[in-house]
Amino acid sequence: MAIEKRPFGRTGHMSSAVIFGAAALGRVDQYTADKTLDLLLEYDVNHLDTAPAYGDAEIRMGPWMDKYRDSFFLATKTRARDYQSAKDSIQQSLDRLRVNTIDLLQLHALIHPDEWDLAMSDDGALRALIEAREAGQVRFIGVTGHGWNVAAMHRRSIAHFDFDSILMPYNWVTSHHVTYGKDFEETLKLCNEREIAVQTIKSLARGPWAAGISKRRATWYEPLEADEDIKTAVNFVLARPGIFLNSVGDVGLLPSLLRAASERIELPDPNVMEAHSQRTGLSSIFGI
CA distance 133 to 72: 18
Count structural domains, the chain. Answer: 1
- What is the 3-state composition of the chain as percent helix, strand, coil, each rounded to the nearest 5? 45, 20, 35
Q: Mean pLDDT across the stretch 167-176?
A: 97
The residue segments making up the domain with residue 153 are 5-280
287 in a domain, yes or no?
Answer: no
pTM of the model: 0.97
Q: Residue 108: pLDDT above 90? A: yes
* Residue 128, domain CATH: 3.20.20.100
Strands (E), 66-164: 73-78, 102-107, 138-144
Q: Residue 1: pLDDT above 80? A: no
204 in a domain, yes or no?
Answer: yes
Query: Model confidence over 112-129: pLDDT tens digits?
Result: 999 999 999 999 999 999
181 in a domain, yes or no?
Answer: yes
Q: Mean pLDDT across the stretch 208-215?
A: 88
Per-residue pLDDT, 214: 85
How sure is the predictor about 152, in pLDDT bands with cuts at 50, 70 and 90?
very high
Per-residue pLDDT, 132: 98
245 in a domain, yes or no?
Answer: yes
Per-residue pLDDT, 249: 96
**β-pair partners for 169:** 201
285 in a domain, yes or no?
Answer: no
Query: Model confidence over 125-145: pLDDT tens digits?
Result: 999 999 999 999 999 999 999
How sure is the predictor about 211, in pLDDT bands with cuts at 50, 70 and 90?
confident
57-68 helix and 83-97 helix, angle to the nearest 10 degrees? 50
196 in a domain, yes or no?
Answer: yes
What does the buried/exposed string (b/e) look like for 131-143 if buried means 16 or more CB atoms within 10 Å of the residue's CB?
A: ebbeeebbbbbbb
288 in a domain, yes or no?
Answer: no
How sure is the predictor about 287, in pLDDT bands with cuts at 50, 70 and 90?
confident
Long-range contacts formed by 157-162: CB under 8 A, 24+ apart = 157/107, 157/110, 157/116, 157/120, 158/190, 158/191, 158/194, 158/196, 160/120, 161/120, 161/126, 162/194
CA distance 61 to 136: 21
Query: Model confidence over 222-270: pLDDT tens digits?
Result: 999 999 999 999 999 999 999 999 999 999 999 999 999 999 999 999 9
Q: Mean pLDDT across the stretch 263-281?
A: 95
> How far does Cα 41 stand from its chain's mean position?
19
